[in-house]
Chains A and B, each alone.
Chain A
Amino acid sequence: MIRDSQDVIVKTLARLLMPFIIVYALYVVMHGHHSPGGGFQGGVILAAGFVLLVVSHGLEQTRKRMSEKAAYVISSIGVFIYAGIGVLCLLLGGNYLDYGKLSKLLRVTPAEARSLGILGVEIGVALAVMAVMFTIFFVIFTVGESLEDNRSGK
């Protein structure tokens, strides 16, 4: 079981830095076409932000913001976005993940449609990576105990 850190400096600075870490991770995701970054990198930074919250404030406080169940759902949503965009391109008459066909839906040029399509799948990848990294961390550090509590208590 992870206890929160007793130091007031660590707790305060961790909670002050958390929103900035999240915004930095989203910046990395959104600017994948222009600077180093993209979906995987941004997702890992997002997960690192939540891990910082766990290490400084304890498991219970972080569960209120991101419970394991929410992490499962978010990972599924991420994969759904990725596959969904691919299937959408199929439905619009192209190949799987042929973003050019999205121009019919979004009313932009095919080049811009490709850029937007890639951005969309990067967002899906970021969500999935964040959820999976967070779940791995949770499971390793609670040694699987928390799942037992949830099942037996409720």
Chain B
Amino acid sequence: MEVTLLLEATENAFRIMEKAREHALGILDTAVQFTGEQTRFLEEKRWQVLFAGAQRRKTRFQNFVGTAFILFGFWMLLSGHFDAFHLALGAICCTIAAYLFHDLLFANVRVGDMRVVAARFIAYIPWLIQQIVLSNLHVASVVLRPKMPIDPQIVTFKTKLETDISSVTLANSITLTPGTITMDIKDGVYYVHALDQKVAEDLNAGEMEDRVAHIFMEADHLYVQDVLDAARIYDVLRA
């Protein structure tokens, strides 16, 4: 009787040790898995950092060349001489100025292609001139009446523009069109003084802001949640 009890006890002991051994093997497996993932993650990070460094140097060189070209165009505009001596002097001066100040002109460049932004900016200027002419006519018609039906008000609106260059472009465009003056920009909120109700309504419609955002390729994000919502609708439509 004692012998069977002893045999049972040893069997239980062996079963417990088996379970402990399997448990330990499971822990070791997960540990190996985690460390494998960690090394791969570190390697990917290292490649990312190397690539980012090279990218930054390339954009700095692009900024330098772009700045030098723009400054040389400005030099040729100023100086009427186009002989070799003055052009060479201009090239040297513009290279030095671009080398010292290239990070000033293209400071917050987020998009990769400056040519698209420049082309869109040049296409925006005729529309701006048209707006200036129309606003001129409207303000003249308001001011030249004997009753002078002006209704000065301050319009505030929160902007969806992100970089400082686009904010300044919008502020200057608003100030250039007669009837509106940008007083201040604080924390992304514009404080604009408008001459009467029609001008304030034009401002609130936000067409100028949309166009400026289109120039600098901002505020046209693809929001993931919107895509997911739309995907459900597409499923229903397909079925």
Which A positions have Cβ atoms within 8 angstroms of B?
A: 7-9, 11-13, 15-16, 18-20, 22-24, 26-27, 30-31, 34, 65
Interface residues of B (CB under 8 A from A): 67, 71, 74-75, 78-79, 81, 86, 89-90, 93-94, 96-98, 100-102, 104-105, 107, 164-165, 167-168, 171-172, 182, 184-185
Q: Is the CB of B165 within 8 A of A19?
A: no
Contact of B100 with A65 in the complex, beta carbons under 8 Å: yes
**How many Å lie between the Cα of A30 and that of B96 in the bound state?**
14
- Verify B184–A7 contact, CB threshold 8 A: yes
Of chain A, the residue at the smallest CB distance from B70 is: A19
Residue in A8, A18, A22 whose CB lies within 8 Å of B168: A8
Contacts of B79 in A (CB 8 A): 27, 30-31
A11 close to B94 (CB less than 8 A)? no
Among residues of B, the one whose C-beta sits closest to the C-beta of A29 is: B93
Most buried by B among A19, A27, A65: A19
Chain A residue, CB-CB nearest to B172: A9
- The prevalent SS among residues of B at the interface is helix
Contact of A9 among B100, B101, B171 (CB under 8 A): B171
Chain A min CB distance to B199 (Å): 21
Minimum Cβ distance to chain B for residue A50 (Å): 11
Q: Are B78 and A24 in contact (CB under 8 A)?
A: yes
**Which of A12, A22, A30 interacts with B86 by CB under 8 Å?**
A30
Are A19 and B168 in contact (CB-based, < 8 A)?
Answer: no
Residues of B within 8 A of A15 (CB): 104-105, 107
Q: A12-B164, A23-B78 are in contact. List 14 more A-B contacts (CB 8 A).
A: A7-B185, A9-B168, A9-B171, A12-B167, A15-B105, A19-B104, A19-B105, A23-B71, A23-B94, A27-B90, A30-B89, A31-B79, A31-B86, A34-B81
